[in-house]
Structure 1
Amino acid sequence: MSAVLLTIGLSVVLGMGAPADSIAQSNGVVVDDFEQDSDGAYPSNWVYVSSDGDVYDVSREMDDDDEWARVQQEDGRSFLRTYAEGTALRITARNGEEFDWSLNEQPWLEWTWRVRSYPEGGNEKEKSANDTAAAIYVTFGTDWIGRPKSIKYTFSSTLGVGATDQQGPLRVMVIDSPNNRGFGDWKTIRRNIPADYRQLFGEDPPNDPISITIWSDSDTIAGQESSADFDEIRVLDL
């Protein structure tokens, strides 16, 4: 089975169209595979964290007309489907609460996603077009003025795979795009988090990341929508 090495960092796109379990087994922690949730349910292992740090149930923040994240079933597989129209959606799993993660023990993050629709013209480097169909954030803490330090692994409508950007304490890394091979198929993506952090921040990461966040938004470019599926989110020792 072939693997495509991306040009930035240590990443592998594996086995497009196949579940992660059929590709590699390793010691690690399952953040979520959505198998414990029923079809149509909100994901039970995720929360909404406000900008003030308050924690709420996911269902409290969802508007089923234009913003939702629900577990779906297809061909015997459970996964999370997100949809955002004119809004930004985020749900978070916290290290030490919903799962446990030490970079010394599990330096790799792996997940599977399938982008269904994306905002035309979305560009993470432009404030006027900063929309994305799918992203995974890893947050490590805060900078000296209290802003979250995060890496955003993103699907970009326009930027090429390997592109990076700095937005205050946020580092953006494009890992997928509609021009990348296999658009519309399941893709399993694996990232070496310490290597990426050193590349993007120029220093060693803290051992215990704060959280992992699933993100999808279409709130900048008028008349656009984003939809993506997520599954098999794991931290691995390879």
Structure 2
Amino acid sequence: MGIKPCSFFLAVLVGFATTPINADIVKPFSTMSGLDDGWSALDFPRVDRHTRYTLITEDETQVVQADTDNSASGRIARISIEPGEKMLLRWRWKVSSVYENGDARQKNGDDYPARIYVAFAFQPEKAGLLERAKRKAVEVFYGNELPGNALNYIWANRLPLGAMVPNPYTDETRMIAVTSGGEKAGEWVTVERDIVSDYRTAFGEPPPTIIGIGIMTDSDNTGESATAWYGDIELIRIEPSQKAAGDAS
């Protein structure tokens, strides 16, 4: 067992305008020329069995299929974007099943047939000396700059829909059950979340720079197996309009 870090609509509010994010920021799975086109592998220390990711076509649309069997790894799009006042994350996904022993509150149940995670930049000015030193030691050992806080949007088993809990391995990650249970297994489900609002709820402050969007299907803690499918992931910025509602033209 390894240690892992951790309804379709666009609400156009009065007085706000939408700004689509350049598609090259988060490469759509539907337009990828190969699995590494805009996305890269994300493996974890002491996890030897990796989830298998492939591009497949379903209903004439290219999606990512993830197969896990007592394994864990992910795919990540490394980006750098300021969330602003409101940023929506929208995607669709499907799973074959949920895990009998999955439990987001326990280390031995910290597996999900599907998850989308959002990684944010580390803010050293808000960290203590000991925390900064520990992070630097890990970065030197593994050769990577570690992110700061993270949001994990999960297809949960036991966690009630809408619940938000700390990851059992780290307080820097919050798990949010945006789909839960096996009732919709085998069906495409579309999800939309306001990243900024979720971050404020999770950590009590505005979010820093988003540095990564990832997908992961894992089962190394429960030893179970599942298949998941991921459709395109979209970022949509909602910004205050230049003119307040009701202003004269």
Q: TM-score, normalised by structure 1?
A: 0.74
C-alpha deviation, 1:107, in angstroms: 0.9
Structure 2 unaligned regions, length at least 5: 1-6, 10-17, 136-145, 239-249
Q: Distance in 1 between matches of 2:43 and 2:55?
A: 22
Q: Distance in 2 between matches of 1:89 and 1:49?
A: 6
In the alignment, structure 1 residue 68 sits paired with structure 2 residue 52:
yes
Indicate conservation of the 8 Å contact 2:98/2:185, yes or no: no
Show the counterpart of 1:230. Answer: 230
1:93/1:197 Cα in 2 relative to 1: closer, same or farther (>3 Å)? Answer: same
Q: 1 or 2, which has the higher strand percentage?
A: 1
Show the counterpart of 1:95. Answer: 79
C-alpha deviation, 1:43, in angstroms: 4.3
In the alignment, structure 1 residue 14 sits paired with structure 2 residue 8:
yes
Show the counterpart of 1:34. Answer: 29
Match of 1:124, SS? coil
C-alpha deviation, 1:105, in angstroms: 7.6
Show the counterpart of 1:221. Answer: 222
**1:126 maps to which of 106, 115, 130:** 106
1:82-122 Cα deviation digits (max 9, x unpaired): 111111121110114xxxx3312861111111112332220
**2:202 maps to which of 197, 200, 203:** 200
Which runs of 4 or more aligned residues in structure 1 lie more than 4 Å from their structure 2 counterparts after TM superposition? 49-52
Partner letter of residue 28 of structure 2? D
Q: Distance in 2 between matches of 1:186 and 1:29?
A: 25
1:83/1:49 Cα in 2 relative to 1: closer, same or farther (>3 Å)? Answer: closer
Partner letter of residue 32 of structure 2? D
Indicate conservation of the 8 Å contact 1:28/1:106, yes or no: no
1:10-58 Cα deviation digits (max 9, x unpaired): xxx228xxxxxxxxx96333323223335xx534221124569xxxxxx
Q: Distance in 1 between matches of 2:97 and 2:182?
A: 13
**1:109 maps to which of 85, 89, 106:** 89
C-alpha deviation, 1:69, in angstroms: 0.7
Match of 1:217, SS? coil
Show the counterpart of 1:211. Answer: 212
Match of 1:232, SS? coil
Rg comparison, structure with higher value: 2
**1:48 maps to which of 41, 44, 47:** 41
Structure 1 unaligned regions, length at least 5: 1-12, 16-24, 53-60
Q: 1 or 2, which has the higher helix percentage?
A: 2
Q: Distance in 1 between matches of 2:120 and 2:221?
A: 26
Q: Distance in 2 between matches of 1:179 and 1:85?
A: 18
Show the counterpart of 1:8. Answer: none
Match of 2:29, SS? coil
C-alpha deviation, 1:184, in angstroms: 2.0
Match of 2:149, SS? strand
Indicate conservation of the 8 Å contact 1:67/1:85, yes or no: yes
Partner letter of residue 32 of structure 1? K
Q: Distance in 1 between matches of 2:58 and 2:85?
A: 33
Q: Which has the higher contact order (CA 8 A, sep 6+)?
A: 2
